[in-house]
Structure 1
Amino acid sequence: MTADTREPQSNDQLPKGVVIGKDGKPCRSCTSKRDFSAWAQMTKSSLKSGSNAGTGAIVGAGAGAATAAASTFSSPHPTPDDCPADVETLGRSTWTLLHSIAATYPKTPSAAQQSDLRTFMGTFSRLYPCWVCAEDFQRYMEKDHVQVGSRDEFGKWLCEAHNAVNVKLGKEKFDCSKWEERWRTGWKDGRCD
């Protein structure tokens, strides 16, 4: 693995939608594939020609900036499996993991299991690769504390957290009364059997 040795650029030299990481460089996991590719192409072009051009980036943005950027442009082609995840791929994979954890969480968890889940969610919210998304999720968890008393309680809490992100992205909300059918048992019509 090689380090990103490209120099950080000023905000006016970046394509719209590129999120700057805390290191001052474009954040791949906070930016859609399309926007990151535009920045990479622009960087290659400017290195060849010695010029700088761009239209601005999301820097130190507030809640939902990365997810809003992700919804602005959908990648025309899925990211190949052997490339770093963009914000969209990362988000889909993360929700799959979290909902799968909820689906396998005990109906009646022990005190230790409840503590483990609280610890995991807190750590997860601090380590999430997209810093804008991480901070947004931390704020959500401060406002609406994670519910770990049972499988159903955690599954519904997580569904509502996911819906909060969906609203920011302009997506439809999911009917949280069906969270277990979607993530644990499969749809009643048998299409998951």
Structure 2
Amino acid sequence: MADLLTEQIDALEKQRNEKYILKGASPGLASDSRQEGDQEKAKLPKGVVLGPDGKPCRTCTSISDWRALTKMKSSAVSSSSNPAAKTTPVQETNNTSASSSSIPDDCPADVETLGRNTWTLLHTMTANYPKTAPPQLQNEMQSFLSLFSKLYPCWICADDFRTWMNNPSGQNKPRVKGRAEFGNWMCEAHNEVNRKLGKKEFDCSKWEERWRTGWKDGRCD
């Protein structure tokens, strides 16, 4: 599953490379930035995502890929200080780190931890949304989702979510008139990500059991 996540993030990054690095840059600067970004990317293990500053983005990268990058840098430093030392190949580093994909609770969140915790927050917000929301709250939620899609720490995830919401057809526009439709909309948004990552889709008819009332078998009571 981590490999699928890596492939999806890598594909999104390639699609939006110019949008996040080159936005607002002059043609000459854009060319230089693209070349520097490509050169930097070529030096990184597969799965490591660059941020808007052209440097590796920790919150856009899984812990296993981040550890591969850390080991690669350590190997490079060791090799430069001791030319006789053998440099660990990137592929070998990736294989080693892939077996250790857990992250301690007191460490910065990787893209997977960030995603899980964010979905918990978003679904819980829908679960506590009024059955019928007043116009002011509807406007506030629309504003929140708009800002969220711009400020989310993983830039490619934010960009993808914003693109999905702003589909020209209008079918993905947030539905925030009341709890039922808002909860279903959030479930659809989550399933869109699940499909892209090759994960099983959730049955949206059960979203209230999962996030609001608890399962009917009583396991949450």
Q: TM-score range by the shorter chain?
A: 0.7 to 0.9
Instruction: Assess, with a 3 A threshold, how the Cα gap between structure 1 residues 78 and 126 changes in structure 2: closer, same or farther.
Output: same
> Which 4+ runs in 1 deviate beyond 6 A?
none
SS at 1:184 equivalent: helix
The whole-number CA distance in structure 1 between the counterparts of 2:53 and 2:73 is 17
Correspondence for 1:49: 79
Instruction: Assess, with a 3 A threshold, how the Cα gap between structure 1 residues 74 and 120 changes in structure 2: closer, same or farther.
Output: farther
Larger RCO: 1 or 2 (CA < 8 Å, sep 6+): 1
CA contact (8 A) 2:65 2:98 kept: no
Correspondence for 2:62: 32
Correspondence for 2:186: 158
The whole-number CA distance in structure 2 between the counterparts of 1:26 and 1:77 is 18
Letter in 1 for 2:75: S
Correspondence for 2:32: none
Q: CA deviation at 1:20?
A: 0.8
**Number of residue pairs matched?**
169
1:121 to 145, 162, 182: 145
Name the Cα RMSD after superposition.
1.9
Correspondence for 1:17: 47
Cα-to-partner distance string for 1:120-175 (whole Å, 9 max, x where unaligned): 11111100000000000000110211110100111000000000000011000000
What does residue range 25-174 of structure 1 map to in structure 2 within 5 Å? 25-50=55-80, 54=90, 76-143=100-167, 144-174=172-202
The whole-number CA distance in structure 1 between the counterparts of 2:132 and 2:165 is 22
Correspondence for 1:68: none
SS at 1:35 equivalent: helix
Bigger shift: residues 175-184 or 9-18: 9-18
SS at 1:10 equivalent: helix
SS at 2:166 equivalent: helix
Letter in 2 for 1:90: L
Percent sequence identity is 58
The whole-number CA distance in structure 2 between the counterparts of 1:117 and 1:173 is 25
Instruction: Assess, with a 3 A threshold, how the Cα gap between structure 1 residues 182 and 74 changes in structure 2: closer, same or farther.
Output: farther
Q: Which runs of no fewer than 5 residues in structure 1 stay unpaired?
A: 1-7, 56-72
Instruction: Assess, with a 3 A threshold, how the Cα gap between structure 1 residues 13 and 21 changes in structure 2: closer, same or farther.
Output: same
The whole-number CA distance in structure 1 between the counterparts of 2:150 and 2:90 is 31
Letter in 2 for 1:103: A
Q: CA deviation at 1:44?
A: 1.5
Letter in 2 for 1:83: C
SS at 2:202 equivalent: coil
Instruction: Assess, with a 3 A threshold, how the Cα gap between structure 1 residues 74 and 163 changes in structure 2: closer, same or farther.
Output: farther
Q: CA deviation at 1:52?
A: 9.7
- Max Rg structure: 2
Which structure has greater helix proportion? Answer: 2
